[in-house]
Amino acid sequence: MKNYRQLYIGGSWVEPSAGGERVVIDPFTEEAFATISTGGGVEDANRAVAAARGAFASFSRTSVQERIALIDRIIAAYEARQDEIAEIMAQEVGIPISMRAQTVGPVGHMKVARDLLEQYHFETRLADTIVRREPIGVCALISPWNWPVQTPVIKLIYGLAAGCTMVLKPSDASPLSAIVLTEVLDQAGTPPGVFNLVIGRGRVVGEALASHPDVDMVSFTGSTGAGIKVGEAAARTVKRVSLELGGKSANIVLKDADLEKAARWNIQRCFTNAGQSCHAPTRMLIHEGQIEAVVPYLVDEVNKYRLGDPRVAETTMGPLVNAAQFESVQRYIQAGLDEGARLVAGGLGRPAGLNRGYFTQPTVFVDVDPQMTIAREEIFGPVLAVIPYSSEEQALEIANNSVFGLGGYVFSGDRTRGYEFASGLRAGRISFNGANTNSYAPMGGYKQSGIGRSMGVFGLEEYLEIKSVFGFEDEAGLLPELAY
């Protein structure tokens, strides 16, 4: 059994300030395969912040070309270890190695940030005023377990592009992925103190980072409840907060849509990563006259999943991350049954033939009332609630009647009609007819799904402060004019 005890602070692997360790459980075998330190605490968070603060003065003044070169080295170091990273995520979190987006996706985001950095204007002019965009400072990055590499990569790569320094606190459930990612940054020659890793409990390390007076910005991805606590802690020192939180995204299938395409796509997107995705379309709104027509497509698509060892290429759905998540999803399935939803696929317990591992059956309920628990709360597992509607006005009302507003999806045979409906949705990202997302476009949510945006120019600017410098007219005409 491997032991991962050290933290990464100031460019070196160091011992945590306190003792203690815990085991890491493989969600497929339910057996321990590694141990990590539980010693990371407030003192270590303080050490990491001090290292980042010390490195900020020099790194914030590096040239764009120097930062592009660093990102290129990180890309090369990462690509050399992609297969290893896929294996670690499979063993640690249960993500199938067949889910290539988990390993290839981070490279794409790094390349987008690099390309944007080549084109971005950190100085523009407004009459006789120079408007400067400068790195905000030391950033605390708090990332989740469901995308254990891609999410921290999106945070750190835009922070590096901006010229910031940072401290990463990964989820307790995915520390090994963060350790390998840190090794990649070290191998790429990231200057000491620019990137630091502290592993520890969220209520200790996360709280210490969010409330630290020398942290200028907190970027958090996780549950809405945890995000509220991060925001409260950060408010005590009035720092910028970027939050990507929970979701209960609706996929509205209008009457003129391709019903089979919409149904099959909804299952594929909803059950990706065993449904452990905040953007998953876990509510599917179908016209009441089309419910029975859509059920066969949903059931047939569910039956295509192959559950099993996430390290086997043929597996398309792995286990849930841990026992607690398994029990939580089981309670939601029971709630659906108790509240009268009609079960058409899946149900309680493990799938047939799987007697170990935190597997849950891919589950579909139809005839779901919008007030049912499974229609309102984020389940974070492969459970779909199909809700009937009688009119488009009612469909829009149901879709928007949620505390969340992270994503939305619309299927229609008419682009104009689909766009008009999408425009009425109160959510941060809307996909039409199953269109793929764009890594240059901003990602973030409305309402209790978060604050701020990541990815693309909008993501870069989360890590920048704006300064106006008056009395310096651009006589040489070198600076672009500020675009309103």
Shared-domain flag, residues 395 and 421: yes
CA distances from 121 to 61, 64, 117, 480 (A): 15, 10, 8, 8
Q: 444 lies in a domain?
A: no
What would the two tokens of residue 64 be? 């764009």
Distance from C-alpha of 305 to C-alpha of 352, rounded to nearest angstrom: 13
pLDDT at 139: 98
21 included as an active-site residue? no
Cα distance between residue 155 and residue 164, in whole Å: 11
Is there a domain that residue 324 lies in? yes
Same domain, residue pair 294 and 403:
yes
Contact 105, 88 (CB under 8 A): no
Same domain, 221 and 255: no
Same domain (yes/no): 239, 254 = no
What CATH number does the domain containing 298 carry?
3.40.309.10
Residues of the chain with pLDDT under 50: none
Tell me if 239 is assigned to some domain.
Answer: yes
| Rounded Cα gap, residues 310 and 285, in angstroms | 31
24, 73: one domain: yes
Instruction: Indicate whether 439 belongs to any domain.
Output: no
**Is residue 395 domain-shared with residue 301, that is, in the same domain?**
yes
Let me know whether 156 and 273 are in one domain: no
Structural domain total, the chain: 2
Q: What is the pLDDT of residue 276?
A: 98
Is 92 exposed, middle or buried (CB count within 10 Å of its CB: 0-12, 13-18, 19+)? buried
Does residue 372 lie in a domain region?
yes
**Considering only CA atoms, which of 211, 201, 194, 203 is closest in space to residue 40?**
201
Regarding beta strands 2-4 and 31-37, do their DSSP bridges make them parallel or antiparallel, or are they unpaired? Answer: parallel
CB atoms within 10 A of CB 186: 17
Query: Helix, strand, or coil here: 2?
Result: strand
Residues 228 and 98 in one domain: yes
- 92's CB contacts (< 8 A; 6+ apart) are 24, 26, 148, 173, 174, 175, 176, 177
Where b means 16+ CB within 10 Å and e means fewer, 330-346 reads bebbeebeeeebeebbb
Rounded distance between C-alpha atoms, residue 342 and residue 364, angstroms: 8
Q: Are residues 46 and 101 located together in one domain of the fold?
A: yes
210: in domain: yes
Cα separation, 280 vs 271, whole angstroms: 7
What are the pLDDT digits (tens) for 27-80? Answer: 999 999 999 987 778 999 999 999 999 999 999 999 999 999 999 999 999 999
Distance, first Cα to last Cα, the chain? 57
State the pLDDT at residue 482. Answer: 76
- Quick one: which of 11, 8, 379, 409 has its CA closest to 190? 11
Selected catalytic residue, list 139, 164, 270, 278:
278
459 in a structural domain: yes
Among 92, 139, 244, 461, the active-site one is: 244
Q: Are 238 and 388 in contact (CB under 8 A)?
A: no
**Based on the domain organization, do 42 and 168 belong to the same domain?**
yes
- Catalytic (active site) residue 244: yes
Domain that holds residue 181: 2-245+449-470
Predicted local confidence at residue 18, as pLDDT: 82
Q: Please name the amino acid found at residue 79.
A: E
Determine, yes or no, domain membership for 72. yes
Q: Could you tell me if 378 and 337 lie in one domain?
A: yes
Q: What is the CATH number of the domain that holds 453?
A: 3.40.605.10
* Residues 104 and 234 placed together within one structural domain of the fold: yes
pLDDT per position as a tens digit, 372-381: 999 999 999 9
